[in-house]
Chain A
Amino acid sequence: MKEKKQIYLDYQATTPCDPRVVEKMMPYLSELYGNAHSRTHDHGWQAEQAVERAREQVAQIINASPKEIIFTSGATESNNLAIKGVAEFYKDKKKHIITCKTEHKCVLESCRWLERNGFDITYLDVETNGLVNLNTLKKAIRPDTLLVSIMAVNNEIGVIQPLAEIGKICRENGVFFHTDAAQAVGKIPIDVEAMQIDLLSISGHKLYGPKGIGALYVRRKPRVRLVSQISGGGQERGMRSGTLPVFLCVGLGEACAIAEKEMATELEKIQELSDRFQAKLEEKLPQIYLNGDAKQRYPGNLNISFAHVEGEGLMMGIKNLSVSSGSACTSASLEPSYVLKSLGVDEELAHTSLRIGIGRFTTKEEVDQAAEDIIAAVSHLREMSPLWEMAQAGIDLKSIQWSGH
Chain B
Amino acid sequence: MAYSEKVIDHYEKPRNVGSLDSKDQHVGTGLVGAPACGDVMKLQVKITDDGRIEDAKFKTFGCGSAIASSSLITEWIKGKTIQEALEIKNKDVAEYLELPPVKIHCSVLAEDAIKSAIKDYQSKQEGKV
* A interface residue numbers (CB < 8 A to B): 1, 308-310, 312-313, 316-317, 327, 329-330, 332, 334, 336, 346-348, 351, 383-389, 397, 400, 402-405
Is B129 an interface residue, CB under 8 A from the partner?
no
Q: How far is the CB of A400 from chain B (nearest CB, A)?
A: 8
* B interface residue numbers (CB < 8 A to A): 1, 3, 8, 11-12, 14, 17, 19, 31-42, 59-64, 66-67, 102, 105, 108-109, 112
Which residue on chain A has the smallest CB distance to residue B109? Answer: A405
Q: How far is the CB of B116 from chain A (nearest CB, A)?
A: 8
Which residue on chain B has the smallest CB distance to residue A317? Answer: B11
The majority secondary structure among interface residues of chain B is mixed
Please, which residues of chain A bring their CB within 8 A of the CB of B1? 330
- Structural contact, B59 and A405, CB atoms closer than 8 A: no
Whether A347 touches B36, Cβ cut-off 8 Å, given contacts A313-B67, A384-B17, is: yes
Once the chains are docked, how many angstroms separate the CA of A387 from the CA of B38? 11
Contact partner of B38 among A327, A383, A386, A400, CB < 8 A? Answer: A327
- Structural contact, B61 and A308, CB atoms closer than 8 A: yes
Please, which residues of chain A bring their CB within 8 A of the CB of B42? 386, 389
- Structural contact, B14 and A384, CB atoms closer than 8 A: yes
- Structural contact, B35 and A313, CB atoms closer than 8 A: no
Please, which residues of chain A bring their CB within 8 A of the CB of B105? 334, 405
Name 16 interchain pairs, CB-CB below 8 A, sorted by A. Answer: A1-B12, A310-B62, A313-B64, A348-B36, A384-B14, A384-B17, A384-B67, A385-B59, A385-B61, A386-B31, A388-B61, A389-B59, A402-B33, A403-B31, A403-B32, A405-B34
Please, which residues of chain B bring their CB within 8 A of the CB of A336? 38
Contact partner of B39 among A1, A309, A310, A397, CB < 8 A? Answer: A310
- Structural contact, A405 and B62, CB atoms closer than 8 A: no
Once the chains are docked, how many angstroms separate the CA of A310 from the CA of B32? 15
Which residue on chain A has the smallest CB distance to residue B34? Answer: A402
Which residue on chain A has the smallest CB distance to residue B105? Answer: A405
Apart from the given pairs A385-B59, A386-B41, A405-B112, 20 other A-B contacts in the complex at a CB distance below 8 Å: A309-B61, A310-B63, A312-B38, A312-B63, A313-B61, A316-B63, A316-B64, A334-B105, A347-B36, A348-B35, A351-B35, A383-B17, A386-B59, A388-B61, A389-B19, A389-B42, A402-B36, A404-B33, A405-B39, A405-B109
Please, which residues of chain B bring their CB within 8 A of the CB of A397? 35
- Structural contact, A387 and B40, CB atoms closer than 8 A: yes
Q: How far is the CB of A84 from chain B (nearest CB, A)?
A: 33
Q: How far is the CB of B64 from chain A (nearest CB, A)?
A: 4
Please, which residues of chain A bring their CB within 8 A of the CB of B8? 316
- Structural contact, A384 and B60, CB atoms closer than 8 A: yes
Contact partner of B37 among A384, A386, A405, CB < 8 A? Answer: A405
- Structural contact, B67 and A405, CB atoms closer than 8 A: no
- Structural contact, B17 and A405, CB atoms closer than 8 A: no
Once the chains are docked, how many angstroms separate the CA of A12 from the CA of B14? 33
Q: How far is the CB of A152 from chain B (nearest CB, A)?
A: 31
Contact partner of A316 among B11, B31, B37, B61, CB < 8 A? Answer: B11
Whether A386 touches B60, Cβ cut-off 8 Å, given contacts A402-B34, A405-B37, A405-B109, is: yes
Once the chains are docked, how many angstroms separate the CA of A388 from the CA of B41? 12
Q: How far is the CB of B39 from chain A (nearest CB, A)?
A: 7
Whether A347 touches B35, Cβ cut-off 8 Å, given contacts A1-B12, A385-B59, is: yes
Once the chains are docked, how many angstroms separate the CA of A288 from the CA of B117? 31
- Structural contact, B35 and A329, CB atoms closer than 8 A: no
Contact partner of A334 among B3, B11, B38, CB < 8 A? Answer: B38
Which residue on chain B has the smallest CB distance to residue A389? Answer: B59
Whether A384 touches B59, Cβ cut-off 8 Å, given contacts A316-B64, A405-B109, is: yes
Whether A386 touches B40, Cβ cut-off 8 Å, given contacts A310-B62, A405-B32, is: yes
